[in-house]
Amino acid sequence: NAGVTQTPKFRVLKTGQSMTLLCAQDMNHEYMYWYRQDPGMGLRLIHYSVGEGTTAKGEVPDGYNVSRLKKQNFLLGLESAAPSQTSVYFCATLGQGDAGGTEAFFGQGTRLTVV
């Protein structure tokens, strides 16, 4: 049981390049989230999804797009990367944990640097 897997773990992009971050989960959870973490800012919600085929904007959606074509995958795209998008990105799901209650599960994070 892999839980939540993010790929890639590290990436360096040049300004203007595009890339897609993949979040894959094997827990059959409906809710999935993409966050960015910057020093002193905590975890800020970029986009989220409450089920297959649905997406919604979070707190800081500009410059990002997402898709949830399959329930288990939530993709985060940067069409034209900017240095301001240098950050650590976390994917999370929300659903039933092993103890039977609702829990948020996180990927290991993706460290993205835009130069």
Residue 48 · residue 33 · CB < 8 Å: yes
Residue 93 · residue 27 · CB < 8 Å: yes
| Tokens of residue 83, six digits | 């240095």
**The only residue of 12, 41, 82, 115 in contact with another protein, by rule CB under 8 A:** 41
Residue 63's Cβ-side half-sphere holds a number of Cα atoms within 13 Å equal to 14
Helix (H, G, I), strand (E, B) or coil at 28: coil
- 60 scored as a contact of another protein (CB under 8 A): no
Q: Which is nearer to another protein, 27 or 45 (CB)?
A: 45
Q: Which is nearer to another protein, 10 or 62 (CB)?
A: 10
Question: Using CB under 8 A as the criterion, which residues of the chain lie in contact with another protein when the complex forms?
Answer: 31, 33, 35, 40-45, 48, 50, 56, 58, 88, 90, 92, 94, 97, 101-106, 108-109
